[in-house]
Amino acid sequence: MLVARDRTGRTLDFHTGRGPVSAPQLHTHMGPVLSDDALLVSDAANAYRCFAREAHITHQAVNVAAGNRVRGAIHIQNVNAWHSRFKSWLVHFRGVASRYLINYSGWQRLLDERRLCSPTKWLSAAIQSN
């Protein structure tokens, strides 16, 4: 799963399948949603660097593997925090099918945004068709 968050907490997620994300997957999912003047902050995976170069987007990488989580205002802590909350929340289900993972992440986004703050809104979201 590919997760993108901006500084306001707006979250987008995309199901990319198993394994590390690739530059073509980033073009498919992130290309349409990033503005030309966006600053892409990511871990040091090569796919992000290639994508940013090909998409002509400014990119800053944080080398998490080397223990660097923050470099001034440049960090990926918003995404890391979301991943942590998501994984902790999934424990309650005692395992989920990977093909439904994007549905669970959508549910988590609703919880994060506090859009489901009453039983009526929960019921409405549950029966709403896409």
pLDDT, tens digit (0-9, with 9 covering 90-100), for 65-107: 777 666 767 777 888 888 888 888 888 888 788 888 888 888 8
Dist CA 3 CA 79 (whole Å): 7
pLDDT above 80 (res 113): no
89 token code pair: 């929340």
Domain that holds residue 79: 2-127
* Choice between 9 and 86, residue whose per-residue pLDDT is larger: 86
59 within 8 A of 34, measured Cβ to Cβ: no
pLDDT, tens digit (0-9, with 9 covering 90-100), for 20-63: 999 999 999 999 988 888 888 888 889 999 999 999 999 888 87
> Residue 84: its pLDDT value, please?
87
**For residues 93-125, b (16+ Cβ closer than 10 Å) or e, as one string?**
eeeeeeeeeeebbeebbeebeeebeeeeeeeee
pTM to 2 decimals? 0.73
Dist CA 51 CA 84 (whole Å): 25
How many angstroms separate the first and last alpha carbons of the chain? 21
Dist CA 80 CA 47 (whole Å): 18
Structural domains counted in the chain: 1
Dist CA 102 CA 6 (whole Å): 19
